[in-house]
Structure 1
């Protein structure tokens, strides 16, 4: 039976790659989970709230710091194009994070006071460096994803988890407070970046690459359409955190952040692996097969997530105060309220890249406008208690993500019937048009 299972895995490349990533991701996610009962006693809800607020700033910056060129690394057929995109994304990331750091240096004090963390204004400046480390690790990860280096990615996730969690425990024991959480996060991401760079630098930096100007023209939709869409998505997600801090206090943010982080872990364990492998698969699928693959992904995710999320709904309220201590009881109640939102996010996250692959970023952009504004308006208008606000927010996001799923299926259906095209198709069309124009100017035949 084991032999038959191995033979099936050998013949099923997609499943094999997912399991490879999950093996490293599982252990990487298990490390902070096992350490959480200790970490929750080393850091208070208020300190965790400060950390969550700072990481919300990081998340917004990371969304656009590489100009979304990192996602495009998987798409080109030519290796020199992919190498050029790595370099372009790295330069973009460095410039953007430097500018953000300078702006935060000037405006850190009023921003920190507005966010309710006046004593940590200088750590807001440090979020620029943390953002660079996160984004650069993402750039190298997409290069590894392109070349199906899932074993390396799995080991890298494990090393990052060890570095981050180990430092959190050590600095927490030394009573560093929120600073310890931020420093440990930076060190973990810095380790991840350096490790991936050392493993891939020969393949990227010592071989020819396409010119930056040509790549910027071919992939212009990434910063022009995909980046604003991703920014709106990040503003929505992290705006929720900041708005909770503004409407309530850092303690409420700490409870929300703890519930979100811990309950999203089971989803991230499977979802991150599915998303990376699925993106690579979508980038190579031919017309006629897109809808089938996207539909299969949604059904598979729903079946995988049904039982775990049901257990989370019923078990998180009684288990949180037992595992993490009585001060974290509210986090358990918030966790149960988040389940519908997290479940729909689990289903839709792997298929979100279909808009990039089919060059339908404009469609996603227009959907993102109400998708961003609606939950923030709901939270602003209805917040009797932090639990009531999160419950209303979760139900709103569940409905919005259901609409997103329908949109992704519709785009896939359209692509199979000739609507939309991949990046390489667009580049080839532009090259053909330019050649035709030059031929016409010379008075020769056009093809």
Structure 2
């Protein structure tokens, strides 16, 4: 898969830098700062996913460039309105937010919540547009710009306090959006214009169901960090946040590269009525082989590596990494193909799984924190919940692919494969 390699080069150059400077950041910022970052990331990611109104999925399978243009405009407008509303709410509750998570920086930097969520929404929308075009080099540029900008902000603004760490998330997303917009192609004329009302009607399931599914999906990933911060305090959550950052960065790099490639390839096959089963099996098997090797390395080397690289005070994070490694490995396998449920029109099934994962991951962590104040108990419960959730979605995806019977005759003649942004 040469395309995956192209995307991965950009991802490694960007996110690899994020990982590389982590030892430096742990000496510039404290555990409470990382806990605050976990809260900002969680809230902004959930709102940013919802605020696209599902157009980031619809764009992949939309059959004309006119429909794609309508969807992008609807998504961008909705994201701006949601960000404005979020800004008002967060500003009004900034003191409560700081007290809830025992993180004063969240009250002072409240404006990062709406601005970051808006940037995340735009990035999701434009990423989908570029993926539809299968412009993998542009995706690689985006990934490189995002990681480099985030890292520069983290380091250069460190003397100013927590804003350097928290603001890096916004800086990275904005740079990524800029890279995507510059990589988009020009409009392709169509013989017949597409009405906005027609586009909305044809993609109503995406617009009505997918926003909730996307928000719940991201919440399922981020909620455990929020619960840990609320139950055990931002310092304890900071140790887990570092673990999630170190493991999540390479997992995100690989999963994102494969997912971007597979979304373009699968979307093309869905639009043209080509079979999917072989592509899905090949994607899962190749991802599984790489994930298995990585998990074994983490289990064997994490504790001494964390102590040496990050310092003695972060020793517990290495133990958490050992426990979470199998769960993250399964996430690498499942993430690239999970999007197929939505792309195949199974939005309700996708929403059901997203809700189920949220209940599993959040419920397991919440129950663990009620039973014990020991973070390891919560981390172990989270790992078990993740394994069950991702194993289940793989079964659902293979079942959906087996039952899917796309008809090439249903694809309009002359459907455009190029779009404008």
Tell me whether the two structures share a fold, i.e. TM-score over 0.5. yes
Q: Give the corresponding residue for 1:334.
A: 320
Contact 2:327 2:387 in 1 (8 A): yes
In the TM superposition, residue 107 of structure 1 has moved relative to its aligned partner by 2.3
Say which of 377, 380, 384 aligns to 1:388. Answer: 377
Would you say how many aligned residue pairs link Structure 1 and Structure 2?
408
Matching of residues 274-353 of structure 1 within 5 Å: 274-285=258-269, 289-353=275-339
Listed as ranges, the matches of 1:253-292 within 5 Å are 253-285=237-269, 289-292=275-278
**What is the TM-score normalised by the length of structure 2?**
0.90
2:314 and 2:356 map into 1 onto residues whose CA distance is 33
CA contact (8 A) 1:53 1:241 kept: yes
Deviation per CA, 1:168-227: give whole Å up to 9, x if none. 11111x1x332111222222222222333244384499x997443322221111232222
Distance 1:333 1:364, change over 3 A: same
**Mind listing any 5+ residue stretches in structure 1 that lack a counterpart?**
1-14, 429-447
Q: Secondary structure at the match of 1:73?
A: helix
Output one character per residue of 1:289-312: Cα deviation in whole Å (capped at 9) or x when no partner: 223322222211111211111101
CA–CA distance in 2 between the matches of 1:191 and 1:100? 22
Aligned to 2:184: 200
The answer to whether 1:152 aligns with 2:141 is: no
Q: Measured at CA, do residues 396 and 156 of structure 1 come closer, stay the same or move farther in structure 2, by a change above 3 Å?
A: closer
Match of 1:232 in 2: 216
Residue equivalent to 2:204: 220
1:27 paired residue among 13, 29, 34: 13
Q: Following the alignment from structure 1 to structure 2, what is the Cα–Cα distance between the partners of residues 204 and 243?
A: 48
SS at match of 1:349: helix
Kept in 2, the 8 Å contact 1:340–1:395? The answer is no
- Give SS of 2:209's match: helix
How far is the alpha carbon of 1:119 from its aligned partner? Answer: 4.7
**How far apart, CA to CA, are the structure 2 residues paired with 1:355 and 1:275?**
13
Aligned mates of 1:213, 1:22 — CA distance in 2: 38
The 1:245–1:294 alpha-carbon spacing in structure 2 relative to 1, beyond 3 Å, is same
Q: Which residue of 1 aligns with 2:397?
A: 408
Query: Aligned-pair distance for 1:141?
Result: 1.8
1:57–1:108 distance in 2 versus 1, CA, 3 Å? same
Equivalent positions of 1:46-445 (< 5 A) are: 46-172=32-158, 174=159, 176-200=160-184, 202-203=186-187, 210-285=194-269, 289-383=275-369, 384=372, 385-416=374-405
Q: Give distance in 2, aligned partners of 1:199 and 1:374.
A: 39
- Cα deviation digits, residues 65-112 of structure 1 (max 9, x gap): 111212221212211111222212111111111111112122222233
- Taking the aligned partners of 1:90 and 1:17, their CA distance within structure 2 comes to 28
Question: For each residue in 1:44-76, what CA deviation from the matched residue of structure 2 results, as whole angstroms up to 9, or x when unmatched?
Answer: 111111111111111111110111212221212
* Cα contact 1:74–1:143 (8 A) shared by 2: yes
Unaligned runs of 5+ in 2: 414-421
Partner SS state of residue 133, structure 1: helix
Task: Answer whether contact 2:294 2:329 (CA < 8 A) is retained.
Answer: no
Offset at 1:118? 4.0
**Which is higher, the Rg of structure 1 or of structure 2?**
1
Q: Which residue of 1 aligns with 2:417?
A: none
Deviation at 1:261, TM superposition (A): 1.2
For residues 323 and 372 of structure 1, the distance between their equivalents in structure 2, rounded to whole angstroms, comes to 33
Which residue does the alignment assign to 2:3? 17
Describe the shift of the 1:98–1:212 C-alpha distance in structure 2 as closer, same or farther (beyond 3 A). Answer: farther
Q: CA offsets, 1:381-400, max 9 Å, x none?
A: 22321011111210122022
Alignment RMSD: 2.5
